[in-house]
Amino acid sequence: MSTEKIVFKTDFERKIFRHMNNLVLNSNDDPLLQFPSQTDFFDYIYETDYSMRRQKRVYVEKTIQRLIPIIKKALNLIAPTAELEQQKISQSFDSLISNENIKKSYSSSSIYQTAEKIKTMTKSEELKALNQSFDSEQNSINDLSKKRKRTKPTETEYSVPSIKLADMGGVETYIDDITELIVMPMRYPEVYSHLGVDPPRGVLLWGPPGCGKSMLAKAIAGESNVPLVNISAPEMVSGMSGESEKKIRDLFITAKKIAPCILFIDEIDAITQKRENASKDMERRMVSQLLTCIDGLADNANSGAGHVVLVGATNNPDTLDPALRRAGRFDREISMSVPDLNARIKILQVMTKKMRLYGDFDFNFLAKITPGYVGADLAALTTVAGMLAAKRVIGDISSYDLNTQLQPTTVENQNLLQNINNSDISSIVEDGDDKQMSTDNAQISTVSPITGAQNSTKFTPDMMADLYVTQDDFIVGLKKVQPSAIREGFATVPDVTWESIGALHSVRYDLKMAVVEPIANPELFEKVGISAPSGVLLWGPPGCGKTMLAKAVANECNTNFISVKGPELVNKYVGESERALRQLFNRARASSPCIIFFDEFDAIVPKRSDSNSEAMARIVNTLLAELDGVDGRTGVYVIAATNRPDIIDPAILRPGRLDKLIFVGLPTPEERYEILKTASRKTPLASNVDLQALSSFDKLSNFSGADIANLVREASVIALSRSINTKSDSVLVTELDFIEALKKISCSITDSDLKKYLELAKSI
């Protein structure tokens, strides 16, 4: 009998084959006498498997048509006599298996064991046993290349985390809420039962990425001494209809079985989007299923089976369905913002508890130079600092010469090479010619002590006795760690300093008292009972350094800095501009202390009148609400810059909002001299260049800071062109170059413009 090899090209064919087998097995008639038709198979598959209804009918029918001969051939394997049964089964399955190595292992397989039992079975039992054996053997072949699914953890695999709240830094502000909402109900359920009080069912943790939400959930379970059921929300999303809802039900069933426990769903916003915005029915069903399961936790607690607390974590709480955030579900919400100065100090102290730190470590200094760093960023910083310390000591050892004792590279390692000298240095550093490093080479490779074939001896405790992690390692590590604030899309601390700005001393003082001192010394303002200004408006002619002043302020007080140009917030879609403003202030609050700088401020806050559109009025109203700080604006400072303060809505400039107006005018001759020195500090000037005399030229009377910087740039271009034409290697900017540059450029502010600004300064 000729046979055909079975090759399942897809899992879809395998699935159709199983359905067809089930129909044959469930038939009351003898399958050899009354075999189902193609239509019978098709109708049966569509009735039993709803997922098949999404497939094209032609595709399903062609697959059934191809598999019918294979089913019939399997039925013909059943012969009246045992000899024929054994012979046909052996021939058929030998032809189905093309791999010779696998064929050898089938001598003791379930196929041949089944053939021995066929003698005493009925027709239906024979067919069922044969199909089961066929499925078992075929699966064993196909599973070799099929990706295995991850097995679900059993109930005994959920354990109590070892981490406690004391092992986390910077969470002191949340401990009272956590103890009240979760820890006490878990540890003393009998008290709540005696009082007839239902403990909270859910707590929502929200905040920027890396602030410690997942670790806090583990610490809560460890502090409560209960198991933690941890899952990421995207893991519950399935492509099959109904599978996602089933995963949610199974998750809550598992939590109820091992209660009391903490059920933690990370990135919960992935499955709980607002139902009115959902694009698929599955998303709505998942939200409804989750709501039903959360409500079912109360029945589990009332029955005495154990208390289950649901803890969710998200970065975007506003995207959650409102039904989740009502009382009885997520009863309380804990906002975990970017750590402030004190929180960063405690986080660093906890993370460096087991590190060998040198001397009196200044955690306060480290915390001040890491604004905007979340817990994950600080953890990365400590790791990098430790790696730098290890690299340093390996470099010291690799640079050690038996004939010449080199000096240690750091103060704290002064005794390091002495300890190495007392040890067996020959086992660490090769003495061969190919391993020797020249003494005039400043950079010593750290690869040789690691990859050398003879360097298998480990460092002894005596050799590492004076190895420490220094504060310099952390400072160097700052350049290698990118804080989350930068990944969020805005710069942290600008690189503009007061030295980068010439003159403007009076403006500097006003900004220092308005912004820098409240951030650096808030206790001084509290002593006299005054609050810092809510915002500062810098106004004046263009090019006078308003933007640079704002950046220098942020650099002076080591705060995060968000720069926004007014027109960037304007969107043609209704409500998008207001939403962008709210998101801007939310990001600033999450990264406090933070300075928001609005450039071209008049573009988004014009005077509200009948002539302006409703869209601009809504933007002004939204900004007024944010400036009033209804939601709290602690640690957020607003600096705005404009050339036209007269067209700004008066409500913006009242006390409590941008109540500090600072005029940034044109520089005086003395200030022009300082700006010239600052702008030309990297320019090679000839000895005959007198910057002070140049600053007194009448043509420079209306020059702004930007105009003066442009003058230096143009003079440098003239000098460079002369050097290229004469093929000279040296480039020097002479006084004649400045005079020639003055002929090519002009000031950006006319006398009439200056007069308007001076009159406006008197009226404001």
The pLDDT, as a whole number, for residue 325 is 87
Q: Are residues 709 and 680 part of one domain?
A: yes
Q: Are residues 250 and 190 part of one domain?
A: yes
When pLDDT is cut at 50, 70 and 90, the band that residue 365 belongs to is confident
Burial (CB < 10 A; 0-12, 13-18, 19+), residue 664, is: buried
Among 3-17, 138-152, 260-274, 518-532, which is the least confidently predicted range?
138-152
Residue 709 lies in a domain: yes
Q: Are residues 259 and 388 part of one domain?
A: no
Q: Are residues 565 and 555 part of one domain?
A: yes
Q: Which 8-state DSSP code applies to residue 146?
A: S
With contact defined as beta carbons under 8 Å apart, do 171 and 165 qualify? yes
Residue 723 lies in a domain: yes
Residue 456 has pLDDT above 90, yes or no: no
**What DSSP letter does each residue of 10-35 carry, written as one string?**
SHHHHHHHHHHHHHHHH-SS-TTTSP
Closest CA to 394 of 427, 430, 428: 428
The pLDDT, as a whole number, for residue 764 is 72
The pLDDT, as a whole number, for residue 404 is 41
The pLDDT, as a whole number, for residue 479 is 84
Residue 598 lies in a domain: yes
pLDDT digits (tens, 9 = 90+) for 45-71: 877 777 777 777 888 888 888 888 877
Bridge partners, residue 335, by sequence: 206
Q: How many CA atoms lie within 13 A of 21 on its CB side?
A: 20
The pLDDT, as a whole number, for residue 311 is 92
Residue range 85-91: mean pLDDT, rounded? 48
Residue range 720-739: mean pLDDT, rounded? 88
Residue 511 lies in a domain: yes
298: left (phi over 0), alpha (psi -120 to 50) or beta: alpha
Closest CA to 262 of 327, 337, 336, 312: 312
d(CA 390, CA 127): 69
d(CA 170, CA 344): 7
Tell me which range, 5-19, 526-540, 659-673, is most confidently predicted by mean pLDDT: 659-673
Dmax (CA) of the chain: 121
The pLDDT, as a whole number, for residue 312 is 92
Q: Which residues of 202-235 are buried (b: 16+ CB within 10 A; e: fewer)?
A: bbbbbbbebbbbbbbbbbbbbbbebbbbbbebee
Q: Are residues 322 and 361 part of one domain?
A: no
Burial (CB < 10 A; 0-12, 13-18, 19+), residue 114, is: buried
Residue 18 has pLDDT above 50, yes or no: yes
Residue 730 lies in a domain: yes
Residue range 181-201: mean pLDDT, rounded? 85
Residue 524 has pLDDT above 70, yes or no: yes
d(CA 365, CA 703): 41
When pLDDT is cut at 50, 70 and 90, the band that residue 27 belongs to is low
The pLDDT, as a whole number, for residue 713 is 93
Q: Are residues 362 and 305 part of one domain?
A: no
Q: Please calculate the CA angle 249-252-253 and round it to the nearest 5 degrees.
A: 80
Q: Which 8-state DSSP code applies to residue 702?
A: T
Residue 268 has pLDDT above 80, yes or no: yes
Q: Are residues 688 and 656 part of one domain?
A: no
Q: What percent of the chain has pLDDT over 70?
A: 75
The pLDDT, as a whole number, for residue 486 is 66
Residue 109 has pLDDT above 50, yes or no: no
Q: Are residues 641 and 564 part of one domain?
A: yes
Q: What is the H or E stretch that residue 262 is in?
A: strand 261-266
Among 145-149, 236-240, 247-251, 459-463, which is the least confidently predicted range?
145-149
707: domain CATH number is: 1.10.8.60
Mean of pLDDT over the chain: 76
Residue 141 lies in a domain: no
Q: Which 8-state DSSP code applies to residue 662?
A: E
The last residue of a domain, from among 321, 337, 353: 337
Residue 456 lies in a domain: no
For 515, the domain range is 498-663
The last residue of a domain, from among 75, 90, 119: 75
| Omega cis (within 30) before 533 | no
510: domain CATH number is: 3.40.50.300
Residue range 180-194: mean pLDDT, rounded? 86
Residue range 664-686: mean pLDDT, rounded? 88
With contact defined as beta carbons under 8 Å apart, do 548 and 499 qualify? no
Q: Are residues 373 and 247 part of one domain?
A: no
When pLDDT is cut at 50, 70 and 90, the band that residue 712 belongs to is very high
Q: Are residues 655 and 510 part of one domain?
A: yes
- The SS3 of residue 492 is coil
The last residue of a domain, from among 663, 684, 714: 663
Q: Are residues 511 and 636 part of one domain?
A: yes
- Sheet strand arrangement including 330-335: 228-232, 261-266, 308-314, 202-206, 330-335
When pLDDT is cut at 50, 70 and 90, the band that residue 434 belongs to is very low
Among 291-305, 510-524, 540-554, which is the least confidently predicted range?
291-305
Amino acid identity at 220: I
Residue 717 has pLDDT above 90, yes or no: yes
> How many domains in the chain?
5
Q: Are residues 570 and 520 part of one domain?
A: yes
Residue 613 has pLDDT above 80, yes or no: no
Residue 444 lies in a domain: no
The pLDDT, as a whole number, for residue 716 is 92
pLDDT digits (tens, 9 = 90+) for 115-161: 445 445 554 555 555 555 545 545 544 443 444 444 455 444 678 88
Name the token pair of 553.
């302020």
Residue range 285-313: mean pLDDT, rounded? 82
Residue 264 has pLDDT above 90, yes or no: yes
Pairing of the two strands 535-539 and 560-565: unpaired
Non-local CB neighbours of 588 within 8 Å, separated by 6+ positions: 560, 562, 594, 596, 636
Q: Which 8-state DSSP code applies to residue 320?
A: B
